[in-house]
Amino acid sequence: MHEYSLVLSLIERVEQEMRSHNAVAARCIKISVGELSGVEADLLSYAFEIAREDTLLRTAQLEVTSVVARWQCAGCARDVDSQKGLICDSCGNPAHLVEGGEILFESVELELPSD
Ligand SMILES: [Zn+2]
């Protein structure tokens, strides 16, 4: 499952972050998932719940934000409506994807020791 390996690398990344800050726990982890990234947000959340057991993240919550795909003309940089085809209305250049194709790690809220 693609989502599961993604979650594992996310956990590794957050654990590194926690170690470098001596954090005792992670609270909220925010990621954004593009609609064209090929990843299902539901599956990702489910995979996280399984994978977080036995890690420093077992009490952490994953917050997944879906990002709608956005296309822009490579020539004049106008937004292109993908429903009408991926060619720019005004200059005829092909559109390229500027948002919605990737998975981004946004932030993590860490709990620090209260000495
Ligand atoms: Zn254009």
SS3 33: strand
SS3 24: coil
Give the distance (Å) from ligand 1 centre to CA of residue 26: 44
What are the structural domain ranges in the chain?
Answer: 2-68+101-111
Give the distance (Å) from ligand 1 centre to CA of residue 13: 39
Q: Which CATH class is domain 2-68+101-111?
A: alpha beta
What is the residue-averaged pLDDT of the chain? 94
pTM score: 0.84
Per-residue pLDDT reduced to its tens digit, 16-57: 999 999 999 999 999 999 999 999 999 999 999 999 999 999
Please give all residues whose CB falls under 5 A of ion ligand 1, grouped by chain where several chains appear.
73, 75-76, 88, 91, 93
Residue found by looking up tokens 């429903």 in the block: 83
SS3 62: strand
Residues 91, 88: Cα–Cα separation, whole Å: 6
